[in-house]
Amino acid sequence: MLDHVMPLISSPWIYLVVFVLVAIDGFFPAMPSEAVVISLGAMSASGSSSLVALAVAVVVGGMAGDGIAYALGRRAGRWIRSRKLIAAKERAERALGRYGGVAILVGRFLPYGRTASAVTAGSVSFPASRFRLFSLLASAAWAAYIISLGLLGGVAFADSPLLGTAFGLGVGMSLAGVGALVQRRSAKRRKAIKTSERVLVDAGRPGA
């Protein structure tokens, strides 16, 4: 299998493929760009791919996809129908209102957060120049993170790129799972606090 894959990995065209996948992932989050980038990161540990070219493709692709999602948000953000995206968009809107551009940076590392934060930024007319700046920062941070996962696997399993890729994916999925769990617990805690506040307010009303 690797004998058939290696020529493609060694070709400069692979970085165009990475660019396209990462860009599409910005507005169609079902695209498995993480797996491809982690795989190439693992390959780069043995010199099979260029780390610099990979990083550039990921960052530029990230900004391109964010720009498309932002434009879609300005035109049709209200037409989102996916439950997961709707919930993520609502969280992104609250985060943008509270933290501004930092929410775009943080959203890149949350499930559906990249698409939701970009679409929401467009729908609430977040300044385009600031959006591009935080999109660059988020893309660079995500590139460093996701490629590092691949490198980690590539170093740990130098003789087996497939195991290195699987290891990087496993670490990434574990970290994402922990992040999602923390996010859910934080949401439950906020909901409980709001419920308690409403109870206290109602108890303090005359005639209650």
CA–CA separation, 160 vs 4, rounded Å?
Answer: 15
What pTM was computed for the model? 0.73
Q: Which of 75, 105, 81 shows the shortest CA–CA distance to 92?
A: 105
Instruction: Give me the tens of pLDDT residue by residue for the chain, a chain 208 residues long.
Output: 444 445 556 677 889 989 999 999 988 877 678 888 888 887 776 666 688 899 999 999 999 999 999 998 888 655 566 676 667 677 777 878 788 888 889 888 887 888 888 988 888 888 899 999 999 999 999 999 888 888 887 665 556 666 655 665 665 555 555 555 655 665 566 555 555 545 444 544 555 4
Nearest to 116 by CA among 136, 92, 98: 92
Name the amino acid, one letter, at 77.
G
